[in-house]
Amino acid sequence: MTLRSLIAGTGGYLPDTVLDNDALAERYGLDTSDAWIQERTGIRQRHLAAPGQMASDLGAFAAREALEQAGIDAGAVDGIIVATATPDAVFPSTAARLQAKLGITQGFAFDVAAACTGFVYALSVADAMIRAGQARCVLVVGAEVFSRLMDWTDRGTCVLFGDGAGAVLLRAAEAAEAGDRGVLSCHLHADGRHGDILQVEGTPGLLRMAGRDVFRHAVSKLAAVVDEALAANNLSTSDVAWLVPHQANLRIIDAMGRKLGLPAERVVVAVDRHANTSAASIPLALAEAARDGRINRGDLVLMEAIGGGLTWGAALARF
């Protein structure tokens, strides 16, 4: 029996507080401008979690929406995988906390740490478990409170990130039902030699980044992993209905769209409103585009991300 993982539902959540670039600069006394931030990154605003609001709190909203959209009861979930670099605690895992918040008492729960690539990694693990017959219904959540990692005196990083959560519900389907739908393949990479260009340092841990180096790696590594994903499935860019990239920087997103020859209308962009929500950014963008009717059943979606580690990866899924 050949099993496939169908994307049965998606969900997203952004915390209530929204700061545009000017408000952020004013709140933290930053020597920056809306024009500089928009020109270099495309970011206009970001959402920030309330004090005490944890990754599992944001994740719970997103997960409930994914379950509701799928029409699947929480009692049917076999496991939860949370991708996060900002866990509620060292342990219990954010996934276990989320499980409790959802009132789920069965199945497994664990976190995956791959920074901004976390969602692609978590999707890959969940897909492999479903294909192996180890689970039939898995919640894959990206949930981040990156505002807790910011050095608010460092204008080179603190303007780039935001808080949020996204979720997808994967369910097993046999080949006859799935047809050509479902997660087609995931492609994961890491190169720890470049760990120091994007890292959390010190106590309390604050994010440090060599922005230009990250940019350089992003453009070349994402281009390569996207080619790898398409080639593995004998597909070409003309088959791709939607590029749903990690939302770090509009310039990187545009470069990928151009590389693939995709018009801007087929690239899902949320970075302008969300900033970089790390592991939450892809599932948040997926949820938005599914909610507003852009992504439809049968659409081939290409996801790609790069983040601290360095880690990077891509996934292809047909909705």
Decide if 276 is catalytic.
yes
Query: Both tokens of residue 263?
Result: 């018009």
Q: Output the smallest distance, CB 214 to ligand COA, in A.
A: 4
Side-chain-facing half-sphere of 206: CA atoms under 13 Å: 12
Residues 6+ apart with CB under 8 A from 263: 257
Q: Which residue is nearest to ligand COA (CB)?
A: 211
Q: Which residues bind ligand COA (CB under 6 A)?
A: 32, 36-37, 40-41, 116, 155-156, 159, 209, 211-212, 214-215, 218, 248-249, 252, 276, 306-307
Decide if 116 is catalytic.
yes
Residues 6+ apart with CB under 8 A from 291: 10, 12
Q: Output the smallest distance, CB 220 to ligand COA, in A.
A: 13
Nearest residue to 84 (alpha-carbon basis) of 44, 113, 126, 121: 113
Question: Token match 């990083």: residue?
Answer: 157
**Considering Cα of 285, then 7, then 187, then 308, what sign does the dihedral take?**
positive
Number of C-beta neighbours around residue 139 at 10 A: 33
Catalytically annotated residue among 187, 246, 249, 274: 246
Catalytically annotated residue among 116, 137, 158, 186: 116
Strand, coil or helix: 97: helix
Q: Output the smallest distance, CB 107 to ligand COA, in A.
A: 30
Nearest residue to 145 (alpha-carbon basis) of 103, 66, 81, 82: 82
Closer CB to ligand COA, 209 or 225, in the complex: 209
Over 158-210, what HEC string results?
A: CCCECEEEEEEEEEEEEHHHHCCCEEEEEEEEECHHHHHHEEEECCCCEEEEC
Closer CB to ligand COA, 254 or 299, in the complex: 254
Q: Output the smallest distance, CB 117 to ligand COA, in A.
A: 8
Q: Output the smallest distance, CB 33 to ligand COA, in A.
A: 6
Q: Output the smallest distance, CB 216 to ligand COA, in A.
A: 9
Closer CB to ligand COA, 75 or 195, in the complex: 195
Closer CB to ligand COA, 37 or 77, in the complex: 37
Helix (H) or strand (E) holding 14: none
Closer CB to ligand COA, 147 or 249, in the complex: 249
Closer CB to ligand COA, 212 or 297, in the complex: 212
Q: Which residues are catalytic?
A: 116, 246, 276
